[in-house]
A and B are shown apart, each in its own frame.
Chain A
Amino acid sequence: MPTPTYVAIAKTVLTGSQATVTFSGIVNTYTDLLLVVSARTDRASWTDNINVQMNSIAVGSYSQRDVYAYGTSPLSNNLISSNNQFFRFYFVVGANATSNTFSSQEIYIPNYTGSTNKVFSTTTAGENNSGTDFAIGASAGLVSNTAAMSGLTLTPQYGTNFVSGSRFDLYGIKNS
């Protein structure tokens, strides 16, 4: 039996509303991490964002470049550390989205236990079977902190809670 390379580390599937989803004590035995999110918040809008905090690293260390589109010409945005915010995961769907609809998002974090700054990529989409409310985006992120990553905390940016049915799956990937 080959050594498992792509391993499910943890999952959180909400059966009720919850303000924060936390993965703590992430083991350091993998090379990379992949977090897959299918979520919805209670914000009274079709869309919301997710703030992602690594370990207990405060705002001031997170930056990112984004490219995204709503069905017209693509746009780009950037957030730098002096914006004093966490990493932002765009386009989770909100309470006004079509019922039973959740977002599709993933974040890939290489070398999460290394002693360099942490880089990551995300792909995110909210599709709502609507003529106006849909989006797709991608981000390049940087946490200017060399500590090993052992925790991830996710909270809605605008809404109060993630709602029932939201799912968060964390995978570890080994390179040997």
Chain B
Amino acid sequence: MPAGATYEPIATSTLGTAAAEILFSSIPSTYTDLRVVWTARTATSDFPILRINSDTGTNYSYTVLYGNGTTAASSRGNSTATCYLGIDVAMPTAANTFCLVTIDLFNYAGSTNKTFLSVYSNDRNGSGEVNRTVGLWRSTSAINALSLRTTGVNLAAGSTATLYGIKAA
């Protein structure tokens, strides 16, 4: 892969204080795909979710395969306003321990509905969850904003996310 011209950082955000979200806005449409790398923790238990273009309508669906160390299962949601990226074990609350979420969004500037793949890695040495999620945002609009958040609590200080743009040949 040629460096730089193919895989470029668009923006990075690290929370200095607790906040409800990490928001990437005004995302340029000049790439083919997007990739988000997000490490996060919360002060109280909650689950990571993705919101696209500030859309709070019931336009999301997802299917998830997950394991919590003893049980493996699959679940899904359709026509939901909350697009979960982790569903079984909440994000870490302990100091110095963060979960990892990566999201790959394909053809984000195209005129079709938007699909994405997510990885949620949350081991807490005695509890935790690993999952893989496929998501759909039923909108033909180009993606120009991504909000990384929980269902209700703040992300803790130190939570960090980077948005990368990936260009096809």
Using a CB–CB cutoff of 8 Å, the interface residues on chain A facing chain B are 1-7, 31-32, 63-69, 73-78, 80-81, 108, 110-111, 115-117, 119-121, 123, 138-142, 144, 146, 173-176
> Contact partner of A67 among B6, B130, B164, CB < 8 A?
B130
- Is B39 a contact partner of A80 (Cβ separation < 8 A)? no
The 6 residue pairs across chains A and B that have the minimum distance between CB atoms: A78-B69, A67-B67, A76-B67, A140-B121, A4-B3, A2-B4
Residues of the B chain whose Cβ atoms lie less than 8 Å from the Cβ of A108: 37, 100, 102, 119
- CB-defined A-B contacts under 8 Å, sample of 28: A1-B4, A1-B5, A5-B8, A5-B164, A6-B4, A7-B3, A63-B128, A64-B123, A65-B67, A65-B68, A65-B123, A66-B69, A67-B67, A67-B130, A74-B65, A76-B71, A78-B68, A108-B102, A111-B98, A116-B98, A116-B158, A117-B98, A119-B123, A140-B100, A140-B130, A142-B123, A146-B96, A173-B7
With A63-B125, A65-B130, A140-B100 already in contact, the answer to whether A75 and B8 are too (CB < 8 A) is: no
Complex Cα spacing A39 to B102, Å? 25
Query: Which of chain B's residues have a CB closer than 8 A to the CB of A31?
Result: 162
A173 to B1, CA, bound (A): 13
A109 and chain B: residue at smallest CB distance? B100
Closest to B132 in A: A138
Report Cα–Cα, A170/B6, bound state, in Å: 18
Given contacts A65-B129, A80-B126, contact A74 B9 (CB under 8 A): no
Other than A5-B7, A138-B119, give 13 A-B pairs with Cβ distance below 8 A.
A1-B5, A3-B4, A5-B4, A63-B124, A65-B67, A65-B122, A74-B72, A110-B39, A116-B96, A121-B121, A140-B100, A141-B121, A173-B37
Chain B 1-30 per-residue mask, 1 if CB under 8 angstroms from chain A, else 0: 101111111001000000000000000000
Tell me, rounded to whole Å, the shortest Cβ–Cβ distance linking B100 to chain A.
5
Interface contact tally, CB-CB below 8 A:
143
* Number of chain B residues close to chain A: CB under 8 A: 44
Q: Within 8 Å CB of B3, what residues of A?
A: 4-7
Interface of B is mostly: strand
Q: Is the CB of B128 within 8 A of A140?
A: yes
Task: Determine the distance from Cα of A120 to Cα of B122 in the docked complex, in whole angstroms.
Answer: 9
- Assess whether A174 is in contact with B9, with CB atoms less than 8 Å apart: yes
A172 to chain B minimum Cβ distance, whole angstroms, is 10
Given contacts A140-B121, A174-B9, contact A119 B68 (CB under 8 A): no
Residue of A with least CB distance to B6: A6
Write the B23-56 contact mask toward A (1 if CB under 8 angstroms, else 0).
Answer: 0000000000000010100000000000000000
Task: Return the chain B residue nearest A176 by Cβ.
Answer: B9
The residues of A that contact B131 with a CB separation of less than 8 Å are 67, 138
Cβ-neighbour of A74 out of B74, B128, B129 (below 8 A): B74
Report the minimum CB–CB distance from A115 to chain B (whole Å): 8
The minimal Cβ–Cβ distance linking B28 to chain A, given in whole angstroms, is: 14
B120 touches A110 (CB 8 A): no
**CB–CB A140/B72 < 8 A:** no
Residues from chain A with a CB closer than 8 A to the CB of B12 are: 175-176
B126 to chain A: which residues have CB within 8 Å?
A: 63, 80
